[in-house]
Structure 1
Amino acid sequence: MDYSVEKLSEEKVFKDPVHRYVHVRDKVIWDLIGTKEFQRLRRIKQLGTTFLTFHGAEHSRFTHSLGVYEIIRRIVDDVFDGRPEWNKEERLLSLCAGLLHDLGHGPFSHSFEKVFDLDHEEFTLKIILGDTEVNKILSKVSEDFPKKVAEVIAKTYKNKLVVSLISSQIDADRMDYLQRDAYFTGVSYGHFDMERILRVMRPREDQVVIKHSGMHAVEDYIMSRYQMYWQVYFHPVTRSAEVILTKILHRAKHLYEKSYSFSLPPVHFYSLFEGNCTLQDYLKLDEAVFQYYFQIWQDEKDPILSDLCRRFMNRNLFKYVEFDPAKEYKKLAELSSLFAKAGLDPEYYLVVDSSSDLPSDFYRPGEEEERLPIHLLMKNGDIRELSRESEIVDAISGKRRTDHKLYYPADLIYDDRTKRNIKKQIRTLLEI
């Protein structure tokens, strides 16, 4: 039997808190889910350090990837099926790309990538095209099928309609993570009427369009994105945890470069520290590995590494104050000097963090080619960009808000057992 159309003898379902059920009938999809590369995503949290702010945010990239697959399955099987603009031959390709789109995410994605100058999308493509179980399954469909899947994820595939299902301003990726992240963080901001949006989706030559009658459901979706970024994704406590995580990795790398003798040699980090991380090295990394080292490093002789690891593992996070680095650079220089005099290395204990440095996702029509704007299908057949028809979307589209915080260890600033005068000066400058 042709592997590309082979079905399971019985439909498999995953019980899901967002979509109720994830349905799998295709043998290819079932086999991909069972690969070690895809199962690794169970050990990568969807929201990184957010679980230290919203205690329910323990969900994984695995659950999100299944959710994206399920939304695309519903679109291609229920919404697009039978429409002349949709080529049924692209069905399996769309499902595989949706399922595998996050395959290359690493532990605590954003901080990890920033410290070691890595790109999870590059590793996603390497997994799909490399010597992996995923590649072997995709290659059974056809010799060039892995390349096609990689092209969809890389947004270079010739059929832009397929690309738009996982990478546009209203794609399956966003529709899943907004609802899933809202559910697990316990907030109400990320909820929108996905059922209505799916009903009014229509395929066109190069992208999905939305019937004008569904505009209000899309407005709700855009507002959900806006609120989730400011209330959840950019939450200052989560950023505090990211600051500490980033500094742990920087410190460990610095010590390695100085030939420091770790009590537990960080063998899993060697290739990261040396800048030559192979695909096989990368696939051995997950958050269980990272937290194992952090647990052990709490007892390291190096006081900075041990302190930072204790803070991360026990949620003794840095406090923060509002700070404008452009206007208060002199204050920052003075604080750095005082921190050093107080015995606190400002490189690790005085950190400016800006929301503009984080992955952002506001609606900006026409600004990014790879993120096609949302288009409405008008009653007369014309296509109109969303913000030209919606006053609500026009009011918030393209608005860049930047939020700056200065993070510091309050417990050490308030500890007056040593260098009391210097710490008092620090508190005065911080206005705390």
Structure 2
Amino acid sequence: MLRANDPTLHSWIEISPTSDFPIQNLPFGIFQTHTKTPRVGVAIGDYVLDLCVLGQYNMFELIDIDPTVFNRPFLNDFIAQGKPIWRAVRNRVSDLLRNNNDEICGNPELMEKCLLKMSEVQMLMPVKVGNYTDFYSSIEHATNVGTMFRDPKNALLPNWKHIPIGYHGRASSIVVSGTPVRRPNGQTKAPDEPAPAFGPTRLLDFELEVAFITGRETNHGESILPEEAEDYIFGLVLFNDWSARDIQTWEYVPLGPFLAKSFASSVSPWVVTLDALKPFRVKGPEQDPKPLPYLQLAGEHNYDIHLEVFIQPEDGAENLVSRSNYKYMYWNMHQQLAHQSSNGCNIQIGDMYASGTISGSEKGSYGSMLELTWRGTQALVLSDGTERKFLHDADTVIMRGYGERNGIRIGFGEVSGKVLPAL
């Protein structure tokens, strides 16, 4: 067992049992305050632990790391240190926060400098994303979409069970949680109109996804085996891949997603490591037919992570509209990364790979408005009595996720974004 995952550990910091950030989690992120420049922090309960300050106080002197790596605006330089260093830093932070260790709590000056209330910091993009891929790996979601737009008896295209479908997206418009998202303009064409028109999307949607971030590079021409993929993955974030369905319908044939997707994707600020998520590994769905050899992988490589989506109208209450789970993924992240690199495409540190919309088999577990309202034919009724077929201006979409086992909850916090009117 990884020692930082020990379920018997307790911190000298008081932490609610419903917190996403117990001592067994310790996710990494980038934060700033009005007096502190962007730097690396770790979430613990309702606080952020400033690793830059800990480095200045020589708290990592037994680890082969330059402490100035924590004084950076992105995690990329820290991630580049390699998995043994990520693990050593997480273990050291765990040691410092345990209730039998007074290296911080016994030093009032250090404690005041390194421990900040989460409510008093601004969270920033955790990584500088060089490359972004969005997969399409939930069989339930793919089946729903295929049923709506094609023959229900042949909802999946012939290649779907043989290959992790994906496409390259635009990295520049990936934004951190809390960043407003403006309704995009684009070309659309109504079925009864002779020509397309340009204007704001009428069918703005969310997509419930989880993304992994790579932490090790490959050379151009090299590939990664599924059983090696874990060594190349730093951690996971929640991911909302906003979508303009009417723009998408008009533009995606024959080449696929473009402006309907590239206007914004939102990520949660805390990167939860695969080490912290190890207790939640489970077997994924049975893959039939058997994948080709380069995608074959036995064992537990999916993750039991509960996912929730809320819509909050302006000045209104949060409305739970979906409960799903990351374990539903047909193609897991190891297979996704193996396929991404199988043609020799080189992997870089900080690359982001989104799962694709995560849907379960029941309507309440669908991961998009497109499915929840079945292409706008079955409106959702919110607690204030208003209806939603797709998202309205001033709606805020909130996604949360966590794994829970043996009384320990490992969470991601949330990813949220408010819809602003089109310009």
- The alignment's TM-score, normalised by the length of structure 1, stands at 0.24
Q: Which has the higher contact order (CA 8 A, sep 6+)?
A: 2
Larger Rg: 1
If each structure's helix is expressed as a fraction of its own residues, which one has the higher value? Answer: 1
If each structure's strand is expressed as a fraction of its own residues, which one has the higher value? Answer: 2
- The alignment's TM-score, normalised by the length of structure 2, stands at 0.24
